[in-house]
């Protein structure tokens, strides 16, 4: 294995899990993140990742569908994906369909879809509550869809061959993942999560195929790849990223935010966003819950719950507006800054944006 690029010690293994009590949150399972380049696949991985601790359940909440900006982004993904659907009779399989939101959108458009996800909680007969593997060969899938799934799968190149082999290396695949290029450019330590055991640059992911289309989504934070499964390489035959190009030294950014929190703590601090970014930010910068009073989130499924490990309380925007002890709000994702500032509508609040 290559040299260590970045380390996080004792962070929650699930950044997107919220808990019903502070005690339960404080007892969240934690692990280490040790980022290195995989010697065969040429991508960055968490070499300390342990898949046996990843037990997804109803406490796992990663839906963002309550945001107007997020809805616009979903529309953009739909448009990109539907460009690849040249015939409505094409059969689509979404691997890792989560709670089935995107699958339902495709079905509403009259597309022939089937989903796979062992953690699916609904009753949609179109979803198979299992992992996709060789058992599901010969389904005759025309396009496989994997949205924010590959970053959770150990040995992703091997998994792609599992998918391709089950479909006789026919059809296309559309994959969306966070991009390491953006993390590096923004020095965004808050985008390093335990449950993301893989990190891809556009170049390293495209290197899995002899030919592929790539592009950016979500204002550059995510990327997609569209390729024919027949173009999946038998093996990854070259490195396309180097240790020198992966500047994951986040010390300066961490120090900057530590200073800002210290500067504003007497003014009363809240952060906006109880997702993975917010959880990571708090676990690294306020683990003892001494500086940040609360977390605000628009999702009713997260409100009145607690952040993993740090046990910061999560409140609704309405509850936040009723408070008079908050003078500073740190917005966890710059994509949502305009709608958050507009919804708060309070000139006395000082906003800081990651």
Note the pLDDT tens digit of each residue in 185-226: 999 999 999 999 999 999 999 999 999 999 999 999 999 999
Report the Cα 106 to chain-centroid distance in Å: 21
Least confident of 114-123, 162-171, 230-239, 279-288: 230-239
Q: How far is the C-alpha of 144 from the C-alpha of 70, rounded, in Å?
A: 23
What is the chain's mean pLDDT, rounded?
94
| Phi, psi angle pair for 246, to nearest 5° | -105, 80
Provide the H-helix boundaries in the chain.
Answer: 22-26, 68-84, 101-108, 156-166, 180-186, 202-206, 251-264, 276-285, 317-321, 337-344
The b-or-e profile of 289-308 (16+ CB within 10 A means b, else e) is bebbbbbbbbbebbbebbbb
| Among 204, 155, 210, CA closest to 178 | 204
The token duo for 297 is: 């989130």
Model confidence, pTM: 0.94
Beta-bridge mates of residue 252: none
C-alpha span between 186 and 192 (Å, rounded): 12
Query: Nearest-CA neighbor of 222 among 198, 247, 200?
Result: 200
**301-313 tens-digit pLDDT:** 999 999 999 999 9
Average pLDDT over residues 231-242: 80
**Gap between the terminal Cα atoms of the chain:** 32
Instruction: Report the number of secondary-structure helices (H) and strands (E) in the chain.
Output: 10, 18
pLDDT tier for residue 351 given thresholds of 50, 70 and 90: very high
pLDDT of residue 27: 97
pLDDT, tens digit, 9 for 90 and up, residues 94-108? 999 999 999 999 999
CATH topology match: 33-245 vs 251-353: yes
Q: Does domain 33-245 have CATH number 3.40.50.150?
A: yes
CATH number of the 251-353 domain: 3.40.50.720
Greatest Cα-to-Cα distance within the chain, rounded to the nearest angstrom: 62
Q: How far apart are CA 326 and CA 267, in angstroms?
A: 7
Residue spans of the domains in the chain: they are 33-245, 251-353
- Nearest Cα neighbor of 187 from 127, 111, 253 is 253
Whole-number Å distance between alpha carbons of 303 and 107: 30
- Quick: pLDDT tens for 24-57: 999 999 999 999 998 888 899 999 999 999 987 7
Give Cα 35 distance to the centre of its chain.
Answer: 17
Chain mean position to CA 162: 23
């Amino acid at each position: 294995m290559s040299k260590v690029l970045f380390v996080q010690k004792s962070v929650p293994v699930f950044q997107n899990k919220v808990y019903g009590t502070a005690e339960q949150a404080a007892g969240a399972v934690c692990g280490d993140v040790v980022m290195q380049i995989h010697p065969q696949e040429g991508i960055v991985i968490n070499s300390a990742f342990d898949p046996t601790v990843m037990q997804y359940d109803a406490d796992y909440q990663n839906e963002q569908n309550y945001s107007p900006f997020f809805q616009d982004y979903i529309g953009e993904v739909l448009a990109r994906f539907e460009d690849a659907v040249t015939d409505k009779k094409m059969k689509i399989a979404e691997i890792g369909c989560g709670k089935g939101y995107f699958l339902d959108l495709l079905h509403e458009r009259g597309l022939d879809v089937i989903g796979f996800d062992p953690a699916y909680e609904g009753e949609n007969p179109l979803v198979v509550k299992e992992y996709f593997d060789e058992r599901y060969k010969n389904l005759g899938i025309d396009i496989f869809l994997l949205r924010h799934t590959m970053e959770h799968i150990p040995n992703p190149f091997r998994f792609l061959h599992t998918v391709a082999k089950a479909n006789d290396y026919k059809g296309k695949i559309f994959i969306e993942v966070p991009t390491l290029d953006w993390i590096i450019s923004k020095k965004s330590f808050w985008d390093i999560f335990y449950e993301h055991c893989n990190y891809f640059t556009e170049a390293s992911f495209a290197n899995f195929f002899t030919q592929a289309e790539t592009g950016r989504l979500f204002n550059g934070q995510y990327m997609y790849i569209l390729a024919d499964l027949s173009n999946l390489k038998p093996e990854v035959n070259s490195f396309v990223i180097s240790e020198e190009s992966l500047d994951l030294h986040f010390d300066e950014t961490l120090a900057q935010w530590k200073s800002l929190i210290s500067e504003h703590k007497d003014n009363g601090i809240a952060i906006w966003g109880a997702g993975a970014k917010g959880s990571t930010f708090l676990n690294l910068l306020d683990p003892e819950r001494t500086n940040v009073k609360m977390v605000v989130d628009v999702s009713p499924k997260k409100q009145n719950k607690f952040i993993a490990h740090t046990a910061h309380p999560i409140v609704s925007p309405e509850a936040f507006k009723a408070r008079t002890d908050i003078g500073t709000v740190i917005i966890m994702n710059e994509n949502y800054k305009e709608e958050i500032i507009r919804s708060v509508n309070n000139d006395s609040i000082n906003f800081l944006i990651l």
